[in-house]
Amino acid sequence: MRYGLSVLIAALLPIALWHIESDWLRFSYTQKNAIFEYFGFSASVALIANLIIDVKSAAKTSRDRLIPILLFGLTAFACLIWFSEYSAISYDFSAYQTSAEALLQGQSPYGHSPAYIYPPLLAYIVTFLYKTVQWISVNIFSTQLKPKEYFFLVFYLFQVIQYGLTLVSYGLAYLLARSLNHTKYSAALLVTLLFLANLPLLRNFRMNQVNLWVLIVLLLAILLADRNPILAGAMVAIGAHLKIYPLIILLPWLISRKWLAVTSAVLSGIVIFLAQVFIHNGWNHWVSFINYIQNVEQGEALRNNSLHSLAWNLSNLLLPRSNAQIVSTSTTLLVLGITALLVAWIVNRTLQRMRAPELTPRDQFLGNFMDTIILMFLISPSVWDHHYVAAIPLAVWAATVRIDQLVGLVGLGLVLIFWVPTFDVFFFSYVRLAGIILLMIALGPKKSVIPTIPIEQPLQISI
């Protein structure tokens, strides 16, 4: 109750301050962006108040909660700084806005510029937020704004939701670490390091991306697969309707025979699809989306860490650029060959893991799940740096089961994925792809065993 009220006040107070003209209020950049600074104020007050209450409560009842609470507060404030300083409408949000504007005019969300590339659900959500903001403005405050002003408020709410999702994903990653036999202290320390030093997370926030939904779905698919498989399946279905990636979660569920979770995901996905079909022109929107994914973006930029980008740039550098057909054929053959080898490697790892008597069913499930996350990055035709925020569960797992390799393959892999900045320098731009491969090598199918002794600190580290 206290947290919910804090969230509500922190999110809505900046909107009120944004519309007030007073000598008590100023802004650093522009009046338009002042709303994000005001959220920095309101969220800071909410965070400090809740931290004081929680710290006092922990001091009286459970002192081992003190450090996790303080580390969470540190992370929350660091992410709040990103929000306050770097919130700006990106190309991606412009695409969401364009799709919503088309829906408001009775048109398809697809086929406009900038291009909307996701399933219809996200466009429907942005449109719903627009109508909600407009209704509140007109019917409660008797204020009529311009469409651009409504959409800017929608952008503000979108970013507030992104900030909230960041804190939720931190909590879920902490629970994952605890489920892997970390103590409260070691779990909080590990997750805090992953969230504070995380370029994909920062880029996801700056680019107004939806990958935090993918991250949360991945974490819930692990944590709830056995405890609440129906809810886990429903979350995967929602995630897949926002971005197709979560569908790959069905693979480890099927291998581990988590039939209830799989059934829930399939049925929930069908229900969500049918609900959208009954929206005006909903079927046509899905037809447009299916037509789009037949010509989905193929990565070519150096910072794009997909196998297609690597193959295309390698072919483009080594072969005559004047012959586009040769470059295209070489790219296709390289992608098919490398993908086939990597998929065969993952299949072989899965077979070894399922036949290993020393592994428990949970060891096998989590090992297969993490290989599936790796597969998600390898088979996607376009993998930008912000997509790698979904590698956080893999990072928690790797830093736990191969704690002896924190100064070794695992540590180097995590540095390459999360810490190295974005740049366009061939061949070095593919650092995140290299990091994923390093983790794959370190996480041998028979070595990924959950520690039986609570993890306090990495006592045995080898290079």
Q: What is the pLDDT of residues 193-231, one digit of tens each?
A: 999 989 999 999 899 999 999 999 999 999 999 999 999
Report pTM: 0.93
The per-residue b/e assignment along 344-365, b for 16 or more CB within 10 angstroms, e otherwise, is ebbeebbeebbebeebeeebbb
Taking a C-beta distance cutoff of 8 angstroms, is the pair 109, 102 a contact?
yes
Average pLDDT over residues 253-265: 96
Query: Can you give the pLDDT at residue 292?
Result: 85
For residue 461, the model assigns a pLDDT of: 39
Q: What percent of the chain has pLDDT over 70?
A: 97
Instruction: Kindly tell me if the per-residue pLDDT of 165 is higher than 80.
Output: yes
Which residue, 276, 282, 279, 267, is CA-closest to 237? 267
Separation of alpha carbons 200 and 367, rounded Å:
23
- Domains in the chain: boundaries: 2-206, 210-275, 297-442
- Using alpha carbons only, give the angle 108, 109, 115 rounded to the nearest 5 degrees: 130
Predicted local distance difference test score (pLDDT) of residue 347: 94
- Residues facing 455 on adjacent strands: 182
Q: Identify the band that residue 250 occupies on the pLDDT scale cut at 50, 70 and 90.
A: very high
What average pLDDT does range 63-87 have in this prediction? 91
- Residues 167-193: what's their mean pLDDT? 95
Cβ–Cβ < 8 Å for 217, 99? no
Res 26 pLDDT > 80: no
Identify which of 168, 174, 172, 159 has the alpha carbon closest to the alpha carbon of residue 210.
159
How far apart are the C-alpha atoms of 387 and 384, rounded to whole Å? 6
Averaged pLDDT of the chain = 91
- The predicted structure's pLDDT at residue 27: 74
| Cα 139 to Cα 131: distance, rounded to the nearest angstrom | 12
Q: How confident is the model at residue 463 (pLDDT cuts 50, 70, 90)?
A: very low
pLDDT grade for 457, boundaries at 50, 70 and 90: low
User: Token pair of 244, please?
Assistant: 């197709």
Enclosing H/E stretch for 337: helix 324-355
| Confidence (pLDDT) at 456 | 64
Q: Does residue 119 surpass a pLDDT of 90?
A: yes
